Amino acid sequence: MSRLRKFLALPAPERRVLLAATLLLPTVRLALSILPFRTMRRFVTRLARARSDAPLASPPSPASVGWAVRTAGRYVPSGGNCLAQALTAHVLLRRLGHPSRLRLGVARGAARPFEAHAWIESGAAVPVGATGMMLYTPLPAFEPGEERR
């Protein structure tokens, strides 16, 4: 019951973004495992469209969105995947009207020959994926909805 009490004690905008992250994260995780990349890009683009029908007087900050996604990742099965969390944060940030860029980085690890990491940049902030991102060489910024020519 203490989790429920903590949830109910949150301000309404944080409750909404946490609930949205908890519902969206497993959907994104499942989509990543079954959809081709091109279809996944279109899916994320559609989901990330800013909602003009119900603007919030003061939408949750990018830091609040990052907290909600990381929290949902602890409680949603298979939610620890950095790409799923980054895409979930991207969708939520964009829907709330915040800027968001998906960044991917690569590194050579001692245990494995190749490692990758995903994070989100929102302005100067890194609400999701900041932990360990300095160990990775960033690839050019990627907008999930932009088409490559």
Q: What is the pLDDT of residue 50?
A: 65
Three-state secondary-structure class, residue 50: coil
Angle between the N-to-C axes of helices 12-34 and 82-95, in degrees from 0 to 180, rounded to the nearest 10: 130
* Nearest alpha carbon to residue 51 among 90, 19, 102, 97: 97
The Cα 94–Cα 83 span in angstroms is: 16
What does the pLDDT profile of the chain (149 residues) look like in tens digits?
688 888 888 888 888 999 999 999 999 999 999 999 889 888 888 888 866 655 566 788 999 999 999 999 988 876 668 999 999 999 999 999 999 999 999 998 677 788 899 999 999 999 999 988 888 999 987 666 555 54
| The predicted structure's pLDDT at residue 149 | 45
Full-model pTM: 0.85
Task: Provide the pLDDT for residue 56.
Answer: 60
Q: How far is CA 128 from CA 2, 13, 81, 131, 145, in A?
A: 26, 18, 11, 8, 19
